[in-house]
Amino acid sequence: MGKQINIIRSTAVPVNIENVDTDQIIPARFLKATSREGFGKNLFRDWRFENDDEAKPKKGFPLNDPTYKGKILVAAKNFGCGSSREHAAWAIKDYGFDVVVSSFFADIFKNNALNNFLLPVTVSEPFLQKMLVAIEKEPASEFEVNLPEQYIKIQSTGDKEVFDINNYKKTCLLNGYDDIDYLLSIKEEIATYEKIV
């Protein structure tokens, strides 16, 4: 799994549906594995295939439309709600996305994404609409997601928006650090805390 995120320039795949829950991203019946790999093939499984049959892709679903490709998934409001399954973030990353853009992310999904070097970028509703319009006009539209400078840009129009990310997480993503490395490094302090309380 790719660690470190910096500047990503790519086309995007739109999934313009609100309240996408993690059961849609990866249905529970695919959570039986004991490793983190291989979830990408079941990403949006029941929206991609008719009657759970890989030979019958559903027409009209963007992941089945060769017009759309790229490392950026453009989603709608309240993306990733519901179950805490990190498999949802694994599936999106494993499928080949490095960035998910939405106007609003569910809490647990956002953390899970960050822990897997999948960058969740929260943009304003108007900017999201601009991105969707750009893709609709020209599916080959490119976007620049710039983590060091914290902005996302529609290359064709030059429209640009700054996004929020806390400094700690930004440093982690830029350098490929895990939270767990940080926590392990302060284990003594944790043990001291335990004694005081």
Partner 1 sequence: MGKTLFEKMWEKHVVRTIDGGPSVLYIDTHFIHEVTSPQAFNGLNKRSIKVFRPKQVVATADHNVPTLNQHLPIKEELSRLQVEALKKNCAEHGIELYGLGHPYQGIVHVIGPELGITQPGMTIVCGDSHTSTHGAFGNIAFGIGTSEVEMVLATQCLMQTKPMLMRINIEGKLNDGVVSKDIVLYILSKITASGATGYAVEFAGSAIRSLSMEARMTICNMSIEMGARCGMIAPDETTFNYIKGRKFAPAGVEWDAKLAYWKTLFSDGDAVFDKEIFIKAEDIEPMITYGTNPGMGIGVSGHVPALNEVDEKEKPSFEKSLNYMGLQPGSNIKGKKVDYVFIGSCTNSRIEDLRMVASFVKGKHKANDVEVWVVPGSKQVEKQAIEEGIDKIFAEAGFMLRQPGCSACLGMNEDKIPAGKYCISTSNRNFEGRQGPNARTFLASPLTAALAAITGEVGDVRDYYNKN
Contacts with partner 1 by CB under 8 A lie at: 17-19, 21, 23-24, 27-29, 31-36, 46, 51-52, 77-78, 81-87, 89, 104, 106-108, 111-112, 115-116, 166-169, 178-180, 182-184, 186-187, 189-190, 193-194, 197
Kindly report the backbone phi and psi dihedral angles of residue 170, in degrees, each rounded to the nearest multiple of 5, phi listed first: -60, -45
| Closer by beta carbon to partner 1, 28 or else 140 | 28
Name the nearest CA neighbour of 75 among 1, 12, 27.
12
Closer to partner 1 by Cβ: residue 140 or 190: 190
- The two most distant CA atoms of the chain are separated, in Å, by 61
Of 117 and 143, CB closest to partner 1: 117
Q: How far is the CB of 99 from partner 1 (least distance, A)?
A: 18
143: β partners: 10, 154
Closest approach, Cβ 6 to partner 1, in A, equals 19
Report the nearest approach of partner 1 to the CB of residue 131 (Å). 16
3-state secondary structure 23-83: HHHCCHHHCCCCCCCCCHHHCCHHHHEHHHCCCCECCCCHHHCCCCCCCEEEECCCECECC
Task: Compare residues 140 and 193 and give the one whose CB is closer to partner 1.
Answer: 193
